[in-house]
Amino acid sequence: MKRRTKIIIAIVAVLVAALVIGGFASRRGKDATEVTLGKAGQLDITAKVTANGRIDAKRKVDLSANVMGQIVNLAVREGDVVKRGSFLLQIDQKQLAASAQGAAASLQALFSDRDAARANAEESSRNLQRAQKNFSDRIIPLAELERARTALEAARANVSSIERRIDQARANVTAAQDTLSKTTMRAPMDGIVTSLPVEEGEVAVIGTMNNPGTKLLTIADMSVVEAVMEVDETDIPNVKLGQRATVTIDAYPNKTFTGLVTEVGSSPISRDGGLGGSTEAINFEVKIQIDNPPVGVRPGFSASADIVTGTRSKVVSIPLQSLVVREKPNSGPGKPEEEEGVFVFENGTAKFAPVKTGLSGDSNIEVVTGLKSGQQIVTGPFKALRDIKDGSKLKEQKEKKDENKS
């Protein structure tokens, strides 16, 4: 064989070998799953519960009618500032005033009846004394003496009865005067008239067992303002009294206000129709007292709040999307056990590492055990995290270049 022929054969063999190796490499690359990678790092984690609600006064009073009658004088308007004892409105009092006067007149009549009864009792007492003397002198029989004694007892009993009726009449006068006083409505505290659903000339109706009475107006003390939030049942175990919060009010854009959790509801917020068969989410009421409420804030303003439920400083953390929940290997029969963890990237393969997590922030979650800072982990995409297993071949996903850029 000529030397030239040998050289050609050698070159062909090298090319064939290169093609075979390239084919294996290409197939191996196709078998690897493209993933995005990240590293476990030390960060500050802040756990928050976000909720929506409304602004309300910590202290407010809804005033309703205690007597029935026409409103003849309405002295305030919605938004007016009132002081404790300020005159608010007047309900027609003619009929109730007449009733109070009648009760007073009845009391005066009873005083006269008592004076007459006392005079009769004194006369009966004198008659008894004379009868006793005449009976001692054997002028009158025993029967006359007994009649005189009985007359005195009856007169005294009449005085006692009238005195009881006087007590009853006094109570009637007090009740009539109290009812009459309720026709004049005065402010029970300092505040702002935040609701005034009635007009002068309307008839105020008192409430009954089945029907509420006429709501006349609402006074709110806006010196202490609360944000009343609706918190989902899944978040409520993490919310505690004394936790700090930041509140945003829609009426004051680009401003945040600090506050303190002062009340956490123990019962869910009731909805019309009750909970039976309802598909609505179950929420609990949480009240946040705002430290420095803005001037002019009004009840009913929409608000949202971030309640800080926990903080950790410089802890091992990972992106939330990298956390995987899978069925625990070799779990017993019946309901399979689950475990959470991450896929660690080692020499181009995936290795599942079970972890114990702690606080969850906006985009990161604390890793208590199972991972060290600096370890390289798989962070996505979601489909890859769902499909890969221990030992799966991985390759880092290359960033796509923007073709529009020159």
Give 28-75 as a 3 state SS string: HHHHCEEEEEEECEEEEEEEEEEEEEEEEEEEEEEEECCCCEEEEEEC
Least Cα distance to 289 among 230, 233, 223, 191 occurs for 223
Quote the tokens at residue 159.
Answer: 């005085």
Confidence band of 403 (pLDDT split at 50, 70, 90):
very low
Q: How many CB atoms lie within 10 A of CB 333?
A: 5
pLDDT of residue 395: 87
Is residue 273 over pLDDT 60? no
Is residue 337 over pLDDT 90? no
Q: How many CB atoms lie within 10 A of CB 157?
A: 12
- Residue showing tokens 């800072």: 373
Instruction: Give the pTM.
Output: 0.67
Phi, psi dihedrals of residue 260, rounded to the nearest 5°: -135, 135
Q: Do the Cβ atoms of 318 and 367 come closer than 8 Å?
A: yes
pLDDT of residue 223: 87
Q: Do the Cβ atoms of 246 and 304 come closer than 8 Å?
A: no
Residues 6+ apart with CB under 8 A from 128: 145, 148, 149, 151, 152
- The average confidence (pLDDT) of the chain is 86
Query: Among 130-139, 202-211, 365-374, 395-404, which is the least confidently predicted range?
Result: 395-404
pLDDT of residue 295: 86
Q: Do the Cβ atoms of 257 and 295 come closer than 8 Å?
A: no
pLDDT of residue 274: 42
Q: Given strand 184-186, what is the order of strands in its sheet?
A: 184-186, 87-91, 69-74, 203-204
Query: Among 30-34, 189-193, 293-297, which is the least confidently predicted range?
Result: 30-34
Phi, psi dihedrals of residue 394, rounded to the nearest 5°: -130, 150
**Per-residue pLDDT averaged across 65-93, rounded?**
93
Q: Do the Cβ atoms of 92 and 69 come closer than 8 Å?
A: yes
SS3 233: coil
**Per-residue pLDDT averaged across 327-336, rounded?**
73
CA distance 224 to 192: 12
Is residue 193 over pLDDT 90? yes
Is residue 245 over pLDDT 50? yes
Residues 6+ apart with CB under 8 A from 98: none
User: Is the model more confident about 404 or about 129?
Assistant: 129
Residues 6+ apart with CB under 8 A from 396: 34, 35, 36, 37
Quote the tokens at residue 254.
Answer: 């680009």
